[in-house]
Structure 1
Amino acid sequence: MTAGYSHDPHPDGAGTDTYTADAAEFYDLMATPYIAQVEPVLATLLADVDTIAGPVIDIGAGTGLSTVAIADALPDAEIVAVEPSPAMRAVLMSRLAARRDLRERITVVPHGFLDTNLPERCAAVAALGVIGHFDAPARRKVWATIANALAPGATAVIEVQRPGRVAAVSERRYTRARAGALRYEGWSRAQPVDAESLVWRMTYRTYDGDRLLQETVAAHRVWPAASERLTREAEAAGLLPASADADTGLLRFTKRP
């Protein structure tokens, strides 16, 4: 669930590669509440996917949380997990190594989405926590690539990354977790760069009791877009809006027959 783009399209922005390298150590632990909320909704949105039509593409697979959720929802599906970050892929590959059943049907592609040669016909495409990593011109290419790859009537599930607009967000603790004797906290804040983009700064803190053992700051630039704007872009590429889940921000589209 990371950026599917192989580089930051604006050199003055925070690089995605740096962000994922810094965040990979903490990503799964911090994402546990998120994936618990998203997983059942994702399974519902993928319920009608015809896996005979082709593989399912997971754009920006990250550490594989979304990939495994797709695999569990569609036990007969072949899956292509696209992830450009070596740090995130290391966790993903470790996850696959522990599950032989997944290894046999999940292919991990070490490129950005727009640099990947996709199968000619795909049963579905999923992009969780990804679309905001593309600026507007790149998003047009993403939508066109998705539409071209999908089989007629096939499904695309795209997550609207909040807040969906450019606005400053003051620092807040968005999650905390424990592992063994240590406590972990995730903090986030956002600062606008211009009218179209902002930089998220994520701070990960590790505590032994009240003693701070480690603090890691990871920054990445995003181009927020509300669901209405993403829907217009999808329709322009030939995708039809099918359903939406307001709680998770997941949008489902289908390829025009």
Structure 2
Amino acid sequence: MTPLDLAPDDYAVTAEFYDVLQAEQDAARVRHLYGRDVAAARVGVLDIGAGTGRVTEMSLRESRAGVHAVEPSRAMRAPLMTRLAALPSALRQRVTVHPHALDEAALREVADVAVCHNTVACLAPDARRALWPALAGALVPGGSLVLQLPPSRLPDTDVVRLFAPQRIGEHAYGGHMVMSAVRGRVRTRCHYWVRGSEGLLREHTETFWMWPATRAGLLRDLIGHGFVPLPSRTDPEILAVSLGPPLRPG
């Protein structure tokens, strides 16, 4: 998760484990969800809440446009920059990393496609409201925004997600995530562990917060900033809009 309004040292724990435990699944998912959109980009791609760079790298490989990766978390930027450094120089030359929240980056008409993956859920209401005008400024007229929707409501009971253990050398890495309703928010508590032949070597816990929002509510806010809805996607977690009438191919 990559909320845009956190202090730079947040995600210090998760940054170590995120790619290890979710890399293969995430790479396939972002290509499925957004690959067609970024392939159509002609002006640029804006990756909002880039995290460790799965959408950023996919955008570089699937399009020929420049990519702007927005990631204010210092901990998450470390694996992001490492990922980018390992790419061929021709790809690296097309990406710019912005170490600020989007409303602080002051980007103007740099992209015709924006992707907001695994991010909106982690924005408090004030930060979420600040995102929409910043997005409208960063997109060219007719540009599109594709975002992953947050939960529409609080969970009735605790929701547990297990991370399949992954082995690196002599050590196994694993963990789980628990989502709970707490005073109108969703508390997401991630527990990670590392085991070797002698047993448990390390364990860490990190907590994040999420704010529910309905599709209708988000769409209403976006319309208020000049966006119009695009046809529904097959994945119900995705909302697609454009800044005014969509751009025509060509």
- Residues 12-41 of structure 1 deviation map (CA, whole Å, 9 limit, x = unaligned): xxxx843x1110001112222133123122
Matched, 1:229 2:220: no
In structure 1, give the amino acid aligned to 2:17. F
C-alpha separation between the residues in 2 aligned to 1:183 and 1:6? 30
Equivalent residues in 2 for 1:27-106, closer than 5 Å: 27-32=18-23, 33-49=25-41, 51=42, 54-74=43-63, 76-99=64-87, 100-106=89-95
The answer (yes or no) to whether the contact 1:6–1:113 under 8 Å persists in 2 is no
Per the alignment, residue 129 of structure 1 pairs with 118
Change (3 A) 1:151 1:24: same
C-alpha separation between the residues in 2 aligned to 1:191 and 1:216? 19
- Residues 110-134 of structure 1 deviation map (CA, whole Å, 9 limit, x = unaligned): 1122211113342121111111122
Per the alignment, residue 143 of structure 2 pairs with 154
Change (3 A) 1:231 1:210: farther
In structure 2, give the amino acid aligned to 1:204. Y
With 21-30 and 226-235 compared, the bigger mean Cα shift is at 226-235
- Residues 54-113 of structure 1 deviation map (CA, whole Å, 9 limit, x = unaligned): 332111111111110111221x11111111111111111111111122221111111122
Percent identical: 33
The answer (yes or no) to whether the contact 1:45–1:252 under 8 Å persists in 2 is no
C-alpha separation between the residues in 1 aligned to 2:154 and 2:9? 22
Aligned-residue offset at 1:159:
0.9
With 35-44 and 123-132 compared, the bigger mean Cα shift is at 35-44
C-alpha separation between the residues in 2 aligned to 1:137 and 1:66? 25
In structure 2, give the amino acid aligned to 1:39. R
- Residues 151-200 of structure 1 deviation map (CA, whole Å, 9 limit, x = unaligned): 12111111113x432224243414332222322223011222322x2210
In structure 1, give the amino acid aligned to 2:13. D
Change (3 A) 1:60 1:232: same
The answer (yes or no) to whether the contact 2:52–2:80 under 8 Å persists in 1 is yes
Q: How many residues align?
A: 242
Q: CA RMSD in A?
A: 2.2
- Structure 2: segments with no counterpart, 5+ residues: 246-250
Per the alignment, residue 166 of structure 2 pairs with 177
**Partner secondary structure for residue 46 of structure 1:** helix
Change (3 A) 1:164 1:211: farther
TM value normalised by structure 1: 0.85
